[in-house]
Amino acid sequence: MAGTKYAYVKSFELPDTLLPGTFIVARVDGHSFHRFTEVHNFAKPNDERGLRLMDHAARDVMDEWKDIVLCFGESDEYSFLFRRKTELYNRRQAKILTSLVSKFTASYIFHWSEYFPETPLNYPPTFDARLILYPSVQEVRDYFSWRQADTHINNLYNTAFWALVEQGGQTTKKAHESLRGTNSSQKNETLFSRFGINYSKLSERFRKGSILVRAISSEKDASNSATIVPALESEGNSETSPQRKMDKLAALKSAIETLHVDIIRDEFWTDRPTLLVD
């Protein structure tokens, strides 16, 4: 329809296209989760239910946007990596970021009661989000190394901190003082000698965070990928029955793997040589 005299306001909507050929990383983070986790009685320092719910919300996001190739989650945050050449929403920044954080938040709330059947939501949790562009594979790898190193440092600190408070009877103030200036091996030693906790035996989910990857994109399953993905794409334009399409989509969905492994060492990446290609 021809514009009305009001239509000029549209020209104030400026383009926000992201630089082509760069890797897009989006990171969502729980808003004031210090408070949210208190109010909802999360176990300290890690609540397995909460972490699994975060993984579920991230899987829903990954299901929705097939150009997401890798996700990493810890604590109240999740990072999403898009393939370098994605043309999602013509690479419009706000469209990508707001859709993603909205989907993540909606899914977190939608699935809440499956993970916390005994704990009604006291108020609606929200997440903030940012988007970062990386020009090369090196920065992408270093980004995920940075997040996983952060997981380790925080988790070791928090594990020692809550052991001192809950088992050692220290006040939170005293526990912070006890840990000030200590290095990793001193924290490990404190945990082991005072509380009998062998840090390296704690859940890998807690120590390494969660990684989501598409199983079919791994080299081992390349033959599988070669059949499912094109089949789905071509079916998008054909008369294939809705049920069959749903089945295929379910297969693709279940092909997302949740891992708690080292993402810093080369092995993770060399095992998945196609992950950062285009």
Binding residues for GTP: 29-34, 75-76
Tell me the per-residue interface mask from 87 to 116 with Mg ion, x by CB under 5 A, - otherwise: ------------------------------
Nearest-approach distance from CB 211 to Mg ion, in angstroms: 17
- 77: contact with Mg ion by CB under 5 A: yes
**# chain residues binding Mg ion, by CB under 5 A:** 6
Residues annotated within a binding site for Mg(2+) = 29-30, 76
Amino acid at 61: V
Which of 23, 53, 55, 76 touches ligand DGT (CB under 6 A)? 76
Cα distances from 150 to residues 14, 16, 83, 170, 271, in angstroms, run 36, 31, 24, 25, 23
Of positions 32, 98, 186, 234, contacts ligand DGT by CB under 6 A:
32
Cβ 263 vs Cβ 211: under 8 Å = yes
- Cα gap 194→162, rounded to integer Å: 13
Give the residue from 132, 154, 153, 152 showing the smallest Cα distance to 143.
Answer: 132
50 forms part of the interface with ligand DGT (CB under 6 A): yes
Among 33, 82, 104, 199, binds Mg ion (CB under 5 A): 33
- In the annotated binding site, the residues are 29-34, 75-76
Q: Least distance from C-beta 7 to ligand DGT, angstroms? A: 39
Per the CB < 8 A criterion, the answer to whether 240 and 185 are in contact is no
Number of H helices, E strands in the chain: 11, 6
- Kindly indicate which of the ranges 13-21, 35-43, 55-63, 210-218 contains the residues binding ligand DGT, using the contact rule CB under 6 A: 35-43
> Using the 8-state DSSP alphabet, how is residue 17 labeled?
B
Q: At residue 202, what is the residue type?
A: L
Question: How far is 267 from 278, CA to CA, in rounded Å?
Answer: 20
Should residue 44 be labelled a site residue for ligand DGT when binding is judged by CB under 6 A? yes
Closest C-alpha to 134, from 18, 12, 259: 18
CB of 177 to ligand DGT, least distance (A): 19
Residue 209's binding partner among Mg ion, ligand DGT, none (Cβ under 5 to 8 angstroms by kind) is none
Residue choice 22, 25, 26, 37 for contact with ligand DGT (CB under 6 A): 37
Q: How far is CA 1 from the centre of its chain?
A: 42
Residue 89 tokens read as 């929403």
The crossing angle, in degrees rounded to 10, of helices 137-162 and 184-195 is: 30
Binding of residue 30 to Mg ion (CB under 5 A): yes
Between 37 and 79, CB nearer to ligand DGT: 37
Footprint of Mg ion on this chain (CB under 5 A)? 29-30, 33, 75-77
Footprint of ligand DGT on this chain (CB under 6 A)? 29-34, 37, 42-47, 50-51, 75-76
